[in-house]
Amino acid sequence: MGIADDVATIRTHGWRTIAVLVTVMESEIERALGAAVGLSLVEYTVIDVLGRHDVPVRMRDIALEAGHSPSSTTRLVSRLEDRGLVTRVAASDDRRGVASELTAEGRLLWETSRPLHDEIVASVLREADVRRDLAPVADAFRAVGAV
């Protein structure tokens, strides 16, 4: 094995370590949100994006901020709209475009679920702090303001 192989091994290990922490975090959030407020994690990400804006948000911007594809975002917004949590409106900058915003019920759900989400993230990171392999990744999450 040469230096290039060692670098590739280190990068692969780093990526897998990040993936482990993210997978644990996503599983815990999914379980807690589902039990407490009936939201999946992907639904929460859309509600969270909309909750952080005071104005309607275009679909492409929701997709970008939530980290979803445009087509899955459209399906998610439709599902949330069917539940009365989101409404679609004409985009303010282009009446042909579509934007979405939370309904009063959606905003209340976001305000209720956000502290739970944030506590789970913090809890998973606290647990990661005691594992030598995960502690640096937990520190990196904090460094970028993830918690």
What is the torsional sign of CA 67, 71, 77, 80? negative
Query: Model-level pTM?
Result: 0.84
Q: Name the strands in the sheet holding 94-102, side by side, starting at the edge strand that comes first in the sequence.
A: 57-58, 94-102, 86-91
105-131 pLDDT per residue, tens: 999 999 999 999 999 999 999 998 898
33-52 pLDDT per residue, tens: 999 999 999 999 999 999 99
Gap between the Cα atoms of 2 and 34, Å rounded:
48
Gap between the Cα atoms of 57 and 68, Å rounded:
15
Is the pLDDT score of 1 beyond 80? no
Residue 96 pLDDT level (bands cut at 50, 70, 90) = confident
Note the Cα 45 to chain centre separation in Å. Answer: 4
Residue 135 pLDDT level (bands cut at 50, 70, 90) = confident
DSSP 5: H
What residue has token string 């509600």? 47
**Do residues 37 and 109 make contact, with C-beta atoms less than 8 angstroms apart?**
yes
